[in-house]
Amino acid sequence: MPSYRDINYELKKSARKTTSIYIERDGTISVLAPEPYELGKVEEILEAKRSWIYRNLAEWEDLNRTGVVREFVNGEGFPYLGSTYRLQIVDQASQDLLLKGGMFRLRRSALPEARAQFVAFYREKAKLRLPVLMAEYAGKVGVEPAAIRVQELKSRWASCSADGTLNFHWRCMMAPLSSLVYIVVHELVHLRHPNHTPEFWHTVEKVLPEYQLAKGWLRLHGAGLGL
pLDDT in tens, 139-177: 999 999 999 999 988 778 998 888 899 999 999 999 999
Q: Which helix (H) or strand (E) holds 17?
A: none
The per-residue pLDDT for range 183-214, each reduced to its tens digit, is 999 999 999 998 888 899 999 999 999 999 99
> Taking a C-beta distance cutoff of 8 angstroms, is the pair 170, 126 a contact?
yes
Cβ atoms of 182 and 208 within 8 Å: the answer is yes
In this structure, of 24-38, 102-116, 200-214, the range with the lowest mean pLDDT score is 24-38
Residue scoring higher pLDDT (54 or 175): 175
Write b or e for each residue in 47-78: b if 16 or more Cβ atoms lie within 10 A of its Cβ, otherwise e: eebeeebeebeeebeebeeeeeebebeeebeb
Decide if pLDDT at 218 tops 60: yes
pLDDT for position 60: 66
**What is the residue extent of each domain of the chain?**
3-66, 113-224
How crowded is the C-beta side of 193, counted as CA atoms within 13 Å? 14
Average pLDDT over residues 213-223: 87
Its pTM stands at 0.77
pLDDT in tens, 61-90: 665 666 677 899 999 999 999 999 999 999
- Rounded Cα distance, 29 and 88, in Å: 39
Among 41-45, 134-138, 197-201, whose mean pLDDT is lowest? 41-45
Instruction: Name which residue leads in pLDDT, 99 or 31.
Output: 99
Please state, rounded to an integer, the average pLDDT across all residues of the chain. Answer: 87
The C-alpha R_g of the chain, in whole angstroms, comes to: 19
Range 9-36 average pLDDT:
75
pLDDT band at 40 (very low <50, low <70, confident <90, very high): confident
Residue 106 burial (10 A CB sphere; 0-12, 13-18, 19+): buried
Distance CA(112)–CA(139), nearest Å, equals 43
**Domain 113-224 has what CATH class?**
alpha beta
